């Protein structure tokens, strides 16, 4: 059974890494995190969905290139957000430095 395909069969709009995360530590795949507003599926439900998906495939996984393009776009957005936060923090640190220097200058006179 492929968990990803079973989940996507039941919840085609579910997004991996946002709505659920799968993990495999060598002893088989399992749902590591579940963020959908429905109860986490049981093993029996997953098997049932997997079997139905095999009989009636509804979900076509994205082409690897499409998936990679989506991941790169997400990473670019995250990087831009981090750069913006870094700029804000740099400005705050500069302001604090200026205040400290001004304070030191007042104490010296």
**For the chain, which residues make up each domain, given as ranges?**
1-61, 62-109
* Residue 68's pLDDT band (cuts 50, 70, 90): confident
CATH no. for 1-61: 3.30.56.60
Q: Model pTM?
A: 0.53
The alpha-helical segments, DSSP class H, found in the chain are 3-10, 43-55, 64-108
**Angstrom distance (rounded) from CA 8 to CA 10:** 5
Q: How many Å apart are CA 89 and CA 8, to the nearest integer?
A: 41
**Residue of 64 and 83 predicted with greater confidence:** 83
Q: In the predicted model, what is the mean pLDDT of residues 27-41?
A: 94
């Amino acid at each position: 059974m492929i968990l990803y395909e079973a989940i996507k069969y039941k919840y085609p709009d579910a997004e991996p890494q946002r709505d659920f995360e799968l993990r495999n530590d060598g002893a088989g795949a399992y749902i590591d995190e579940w963020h959908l507003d429905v109860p986490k599926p049981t093993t029996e439900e997953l098997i049932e969905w997997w079997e139905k998906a095999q009989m009636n495939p509804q979900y076509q996984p994205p082409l690897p290139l499409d998936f990679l393009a989506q991941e790169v776009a997400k990473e670019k957005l995250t990087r831009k957000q981090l750069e913006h936060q870094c700029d804000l923090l740099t400005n705050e640190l500069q302001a604090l430095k200026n205040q400290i220097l001004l304070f030191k200058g007042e104490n010296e006179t």
